[in-house]
Amino acid sequence: MSLEHTIYGSPVFQQACRQFDLAADILEMEPGLRDRTKQPRRCVVVTLPVRLDSGKIESFEGYRVQHNLSTGPAKGGIRFHQDVTLGEVAALAMWMSWKCSLVGLPFGGAKGGVVVNARDMSPQELERLSRRYIQEIAPFIGPQVDIPAPDVGTNEQVMAWMMDTYSNHVGHYDPGIITGKPIALGGSLGRREATGEGVAWFTKAYLADLGIKAADTTVVIQGFGNVGGETALALESWGAKIIGISDFTGGITNPKGINVREALDYSAKNRSLQGCTGGDPVNNAELLELPCTVLIPAALERVITRENAPRLRCRLLAEAANGPTTNEADKIIAERGDIELIPDVLCNSGGVIVSYFEWLQNLQNYYWSKQEVFEKLHRQLAQAKTAVDEAQARHQCSRRTAALVLGIARVADAKAKRGLFP
């Protein structure tokens, strides 16, 4: 069945499907199992009427796509963004399935989204929207069914409101419903840093394979939110020079190195990097083509394209964002042969790994130190890197396809062994 023309049909969903097909070809998956593994299991579309501060009522559209529930409860973030589509959420849910499987977590994959520009909302409006979204999807989620988390446009405070809403719905405190919560509400130490810490860990590991040292490393990062900011801090403290950063307003570049802490403080105070004096202004298109050792897209999908892929001037492309590279750009990068790519499902897996730790701590009501969290995280990242490097050598394919082969094979195997009901 061609999924490209279903309700999920969109460029980003097609991108995820093409990536899947390359891996499924290597696995020689028979058509029945192939379709069953690829298709999202189910989706919910909800209308969210919210009373604005003006008294006016505005309705927003929200989604939750559960791609795979065969290997455990589904897991995946919730995105608040004006350009969210059902197809995008489905693609992100699919990638969550392969990512959880690749790094050995007992989860399936899911993702949620609301079509809204949350930046334009007051905190009170944002709270009402967050609560209404969880209330509407409450019959479809649960600590043993589907466990959401933060993504673009959502944060710890949003997770707190969502956890509170769900807990009121079931009648008792239930922190295992969502991860990425504040520490006071059962959040895990290290979760806030986890995705960036993982991106930095893989960057350092692949630079070591290339024989490149911290002092010789320059870094450009697109997206200066949770993931971009934490990645910048981790790589700066390792000794690399962060020479370019950006957000939705554009960015700055400074060949002498940007002071990351100052830029973060500026961004928190002004709600964007616009006007930040830590470097020369640069737009997002120019930023991606700056000469650097490591280029880290940490914002949205499909920013590395057929147009700019030939012009990239990095040695390592570390995909902190999900889906930043189009299929065409993947091909160009492979043909160029001078750029090592760390694929999203591997590169940003630190976030969901520590989300898993948070869920475990919630279920056990027993909380770990940050050191324990990071030790376990690093061990799991190292195992995943070794497995992907071995699979790449075995199948003589790109690192992305090798990672997907591992992730997809485990999900398909679980489905085949569970059998088909009825």
**Residues making contact with ligand NAD (CB under 6 A):** 150-153, 195, 222-228, 246-248, 284, 298-300, 320-322, 348, 351
Closer to ligand NAD by Cβ: residue 27 or 100:
100
Write the single-letter amino acid at 233.
Answer: L
Closer to ligand NAD by Cβ: residue 51 or 376:
376
Closer to ligand NAD by Cβ: residue 176 or 297:
297
Residue 120 burial class via C-beta count within 10 angstroms: exposed 0-12, middle 13-18, buried 19 and up: exposed
Helix (H, G, I), strand (E, B) or coil at 282: strand
Task: Find the shortest distance in angstroms from Cβ 25 to ligand NAD.
Answer: 26
Torsion of CA 65, 348, 398, 404, to 10 degrees: -40
Write out the H or E segment, with its range, that includes residue 351: helix 350-364
Task: Find the shortest distance in angstroms from Cβ 68 to ligand NAD.
Answer: 17
Catalytic residue among 111, 181, 241, 385: 111
213 is catalytic: no
Closer to ligand NAD by Cβ: residue 230 or 412:
230
Task: Find the shortest distance in angstroms from Cβ 300 to ligand NAD.
Answer: 5
Task: Find the shortest distance in angstroms from Cβ 218 to ligand NAD.
Answer: 19
Task: Find the shortest distance in angstroms from Cβ 26 to ligand NAD.
Answer: 25
Closer to ligand NAD by Cβ: residue 26 or 43:
43
For residue 21, the Cα-to-chain-centroid distance in whole angstroms is 21
Q: DSSP string spanning 122-182?
A: -HHHHHHHHHHHHHHHGGG-BTTTEEEEE-TT--HHHHHHHHHHHHHHHTS--GGG-SS--
Closer to ligand NAD by Cβ: residue 28 or 120:
120
Task: Find the shortest distance in angstroms from Cβ 387 to ligand NAD.
Answer: 19
Closer to ligand NAD by Cβ: residue 72 or 229:
229
Task: Find the shortest distance in angstroms from Cβ 337 to ligand NAD.
Answer: 26
Unique residue bearing structure tokens 């799991």:
380
Q: DSSP string spanning 6-45?
A: STT-SHHHHHHHHHHHHHHHHHT--HHHHHHHHS-SEEEE
Distances in Å between the Cα of 30 and the Cα atoms of 26, 35, 36, 37, 240 are 11, 9, 10, 11, 46
| Span between the terminal Cα atoms of the chain, in Å | 21
Q: Which residue of this chain has its Cβ atom nearest to ligand NAD in the complex? A: 225
Query: 100 is written with which tokens?
Result: 């959880």
Helix (H, G, I), strand (E, B) or coil at 79: strand
Q: Rounded distance, CA 383 to CA 360, Å?
A: 20
- Do 115 and 82 contact (CB within 8 A), yes or no? yes
Write the single-letter amino acid at 213.
Answer: K
Q: Indicate which residues carry an active-site annotation.
A: 111
